[in-house]
Chain A
Amino acid sequence: NAGVTQTPKFRILKIGQSMTLQCTQDMNHNYMYWYRQDPGMGLKLIYYSVGAGITDKGEVPNGYNVSRSTTEDFPLRLELAAPSQTSVYFCASRRQGRTYEQYFGPGTRLTVT
């Protein structure tokens, strides 16, 4: 199993550009998450999904959109990139149930200038 994969690994965007961060997991996990990690800060939840067709906002959803058309994929969309979105983005997945841990992807480092 590849686990959780994210693409791209790095990206530089200009202010106002749009992009989609891809996340795929091959573990048949119901739950998927998007986090951002700002320099010197912890992880903040952007959006999460408990299954295909279901998404919900986390702590910091403004400026982002998600979709979950399949169990495997959970892309994160930035419509109008702003410097405040410069961050490292982590996707994670887990099985449904309270005793299961999250599995994280390798992260995407995004810079908006």
Chain B
Amino acid sequence: ILNVEQSPQSLHVQEGDSTNFTCSFPSSNFYALHWYRWETAKSPEALFVMTLNGDEKKKGRISATLNTKEGYSYLYIKGSQPEDSATYLCVREETSGSRLTFGEGTQLTVNP
């Protein structure tokens, strides 16, 4: 994997459903993995930053895991709500510690 790849590209779920997305990234020169939430007409906002293999982070109904050896991260949303509708961005940070590469994002729509 040369780039940061996210799947699926878009997702429609019903309110109350739980869902998850995948981020795949090059495992070489890995430094950190960021997740951002980006609502339409707003700026991206940080959800998590993870650095160690096996890291798990949680914020309310949203959680994320990290596997640096195989180069993937999962983002989970439990009991989706309409206000969770947004694009979720995965960002890989290289060993240099300054340069970040963004995935294309997963666009989530939660229908009431």
- A residues neighboring B (CB under 8 Å): 31, 33, 35, 41-45, 48, 50, 56, 58-59, 90, 96-107
Chain B residues 77-112 with CB under 8 Å of chain A are 89, 93, 97-105
- B residues neighboring A (CB under 8 Å): 31-32, 34, 36, 42-46, 49, 51, 89, 93, 97-105
Interfacial chain B residues near A41, Cβ < 8 Å: 104
- B112 CB to nearest chain A CB (Å): 25
Interfacial chain B residues near A58, Cβ < 8 Å: 99
Interfacial chain B residues near A100, Cβ < 8 Å: 49
Per the bound structure, the CA–CA distance linking A31 and B36 in Å amounts to 18
CB-based A-B contact count at 8 angstroms: 55
**A-B pairs with beta carbons under 8 Å apart, 20 shown:** A33-B100, A35-B102, A41-B104, A42-B103, A42-B105, A43-B44, A43-B89, A43-B102, A45-B101, A45-B102, A56-B99, A58-B99, A96-B97, A98-B31, A98-B32, A98-B97, A102-B34, A102-B36, A106-B42, A106-B43
Main secondary structure of the interface of B (DSSP, over half): strand
Interfacial chain B residues near A98, Cβ < 8 Å: 31-32, 49, 51, 93, 97
Interfacial chain A residues near B97, Cβ < 8 Å: 96-98
- A26 CB to nearest chain B CB (Å): 16
Contact of A48 among B34, B99, B102, B103 (CB under 8 A): B99
Per the bound structure, the CA–CA distance linking A43 and B36 in Å amounts to 12
Interfacial chain A residues near B36, Cβ < 8 Å: 101-102
CB-nearest residue of chain A to B45: A104
Per the bound structure, the CA–CA distance linking A101 and B100 in Å amounts to 11
Contact of B49 among A48, A59, A101, A104 (CB under 8 A): A101
- A4 CB to nearest chain B CB (Å): 8
